[in-house]
A and B are shown apart, each in its own frame.
Chain A
Amino acid sequence: MISDFLRKPPIVLVSRIILGALFIYAGIDKIIHPLAFAQVIHHYRAAPPGLINYVAVAMPWIELLSGFLLIVGCKVRGSNLLIGAMLVFFIILLSITAARGINVSCGCFSTSTAVKSNLVLRIIEDIGMLILSLHIFRFAKEKTV
């Protein structure tokens, strides 16, 4: 029943559009403000100093491109896999950061450091997005344009 509903191509398309749009939105602010994003990464106290700027330059483009491809329907399964892997990484990173008691602004959707994030809420958001990704992984076909 429910899986009949979930496998409908328009429903899969809705998941692709929501998830893709979130990743595009998340990527754009970081691309505009690379230094601010590098500071956010530094505040996590997890990255080797020499790698911080490379991550700050590369990651937003991976988010943007995979989100874009997910929406337009080109390499849907590949871009979805990439997004799912990023989400798993974010969930692990946020959990470790919360457990270390580090007061950080998550930098998920904004590079502003003025407001510290509620990390638990951010983890729940990421889990929600991971569910969308799993939905796409289960039901999306390669030629679904």
Chain B
Amino acid sequence: MTDRDQTISEDELHAYVDGELPANRRSAVEAWLAVHGDDAARVAAWRAQAELIRKRYGGVASEVPPKRLQVERLTRSRRGWMAAAVAAVLVAFIAGGAAGWFARGAEAASPSDLDRFTADALEAYRLYVVEVRHPVEVPGDQRPHLVEWLSKRLGSPLRAPELERMGLKLVGGRLLPGPTGATAFFMYEGPSGERFTLYCGRTSDHEMALRYTTGTQNAAYYWVDQNVAYVLSGPAERDKLHDIAQAAYDQIDTRTPPQGG
């Protein structure tokens, strides 16, 4: 009984229940369950749970889907919603002290724009990242126009980084109010719908390299270059976010090479 080879791990019990266990381990698990009543009870409970879930929701798959989910209909109206990507109401965004929750996570040594920018940028991220039909004011296929417009409003030459090689497509951008006036907001999207946003606004902060700040769900990299603060926001997966921020940072940094003096 104390033979280590015969010990069955909890992972194997799950794999057994889910039909993922290699055939040659199945009889070992069954022998184990025959003499370990507590494990047998757990396995039975897990099976019962699965049964309850299937009983409760399995029938949905036999329903006739509503018309709005027909592929035919969705492909026909595609051009419609693309064209409809126009300005959204921003009042809700400005109202409310939205910065509070994030300020807890930010490490602010001195009074700087970092807190306000990251809080506002994450708020904008959370507000727009869920939008399907109107995530941006100007779609990404009008990149030159978008960048020119936002640069003008910001009063600083901007650039929407090319992140295609990271699998991210420019969805587009919009103009937003920010801590120091007009800010530019670019949205990128990966093939599975994950979204990242780059928020840019003027700042009096000094040059600053990448800084990471995180909330409970989202995270951001903040940096400053040529009196413009950038906040790249996305899901709180640090490595991925870092790679994207680094790519954006590099592109923006090399935009104006050092003048050598």
Do A and B make up one complex? no
